[in-house]
Amino acid sequence: SDYLVVFGDYEIISAESGEEALNLLSATSFDIIVSDFRMPEMDGTRLLQYIRERGESLPFIFLTGTRYEDLDLDPDKPGDSLYVNKSGDPSQVFSLLSQKICQAVARHKTVQALKKHQIEESDHSPAFPV
């Protein structure tokens, strides 16, 4: 997390386990989730699954040393998460992570704004064309 402070203006809240992360999600609003794959009690893919089952569409990034092919992600949801390999030079890894965080959060906020606009437009459009 110290590296992320160097590469971006982030408020970082850490969880020691997937269960703790779910509890934090219930109590706090987040822009993005960055998780390892291997964690105590539940792995990152299970955490992602729980989050999606709750109806949360937050961007999710795996920051892990596990190969992408070994993550066991749902092939029907290719855009459901992003991946950054944490092996290598920490400054390069966290620079890439910072870029992906910024891109994912911006994309998510744009999609949410478009959805909100579409809902507002449908609420104000006449039931029958004039």
Write the single-letter amino acid at 77: K
Is it the case that residue 127 has pLDDT exceeding 70? no
Is it the case that residue 10 has pLDDT exceeding 60? yes
pTM over 0.95: no
**Higher pLDDT residue, 79 or 92?**
92
Look at residue 101 and tell me if it is in a domain.
yes
CA nearest to 104, candidates 65, 61, 67, 63: 61
Q: In whole angstroms, how far apart are CA 86 and each of 14, 17, 61, 73, 75?
A: 17, 18, 12, 18, 22
The CATH number for 81's domain is: 3.40.50.2300
User: Residue 114 is part of which domain span?
Assistant: 2-124
pLDDT at 19: 92
Number of domains the chain contains: 1
Is it the case that residue 15 has pLDDT exceeding 80? yes
Kindly list the strands in the beta sheet with 33-35, ordered across the sheet, starting from the edge strand earlier in the chain.
33-35, 60-64, 82-85
Is it the case that residue 78 has pLDDT exceeding 70? no
**How many percent of the chain have pLDDT more than 70?**
82
> In sequence order, what are the beta bridge partners of 62?
35, 83
| Angle 109-5-54 from CA coordinates, rounded to 5° | 40
Is it the case that residue 38 has pLDDT exceeding 60? yes
pLDDT at 7: 54
Is it the case that residue 85 has pLDDT exceeding 70? yes
Look at residue 129 and tell me if it is in a domain.
no
pLDDT at 75: 62
pLDDT at 47: 93
Look at residue 76 and tell me if it is in a domain.
yes
Query: Average of pLDDT values for 77-97?
Result: 85
Look at residue 130 and tell me if it is in a domain.
no
List of long-range contacts for 71-80, beta carbons under 8 Å, 24+ apart: 71/37, 71/44, 71/45, 72/45, 73/45, 80/48, 80/52
